[in-house]
Amino acid sequence: MNEPVAPDMAARIDALLPQTQCTRCGYSGCSPYAAAIAAGEAQINQCPPGGQATIEALARLLDRPTMSLNPVHGVEKPPLVAWIDETRCIGCARCLGPCPVDAIVGAPKYMHTVLIERCTGCELCLPPCPVDCIDMRPLLEPAENNPALNRRRYAAHSARLLDQAAERQRQLDAKKALVARRTGTP
């Protein structure tokens, strides 16, 4: 791999990434990928959504030679957004959790829909759908990619998941304490 760079460089690298949070690079999101690049643990050519433009920007920032996109991580393609076929959606809600920017809205047993202006095209909603009612379609009107806004939405999504996990743990602890009191076990 490459030599590690200055610690503040991870934030500068992250600022150049598209913030799709798609995990295609092999990392759990854009920020961990940026940290891996900064630490010399990852190459600059692992981001299909960013494509060649991002690779070239990273090469300039890090004063490295440009490279081609590593096909192991995918191929560069035009911006896509998720689309849910409302006639096939069963409201299972399995697509809600994986969406890193909360672009899918709905509730269990109700049809879901995608907020196109929020969708980053990460494709993480596809695998959990049991009825294959989600397709990726070309973005009809090119939206302005706003990595800073996508980063904030991802942070809000991550915080919400942590809050839900903490609340669930509090509920489990309370149930265990209640059972222990009722049965007299420690």
pLDDT in the model for residue 143: 56
* 36 belongs to a structural domain: yes
Provide the Cα torsion 13, 18, 21, 23; round to 10°: -80
Q: Per the structure block, which two tokens stand in for 71?
A: 């096909």
Give burial (CB, 10 Å; 0-12/13-18/19+) of 70: middle
* 143 belongs to a structural domain: no
Question: Which residues fall within 8 angstroms of residue 167, CB to CB, at 6 or more apart?
Answer: none
Q: What is the CATH number of the domain that holds 42?
A: 1.10.15.40
DSSP class of residue 142 equals P
Q: Distance (Å, rounded) from C-alpha 124 to C-alpha 22? A: 7
H or E segment to which residue 136 belongs? strand 134-138
* 41 belongs to a structural domain: yes
* 119 belongs to a structural domain: no
* 148 belongs to a structural domain: no
How many independent structural domains does the chain possess?
1
* 105 belongs to a structural domain: no
* 44 belongs to a structural domain: yes
* 61 belongs to a structural domain: yes
Tens-level pLDDT at each residue, the chain (186 residues): 666 566 689 999 999 999 999 999 999 999 999 999 999 999 999 999 999 999 999 999 999 999 999 999 999 998 899 999 989 999 999 999 999 999 999 888 888 999 988 899 999 999 999 999 999 998 876 555 677 778 888 888 888 888 888 998 999 988 888 888 888 876
Task: Quote the domain boundaries for residue 33.
Answer: 9-73
pTM: 0.78
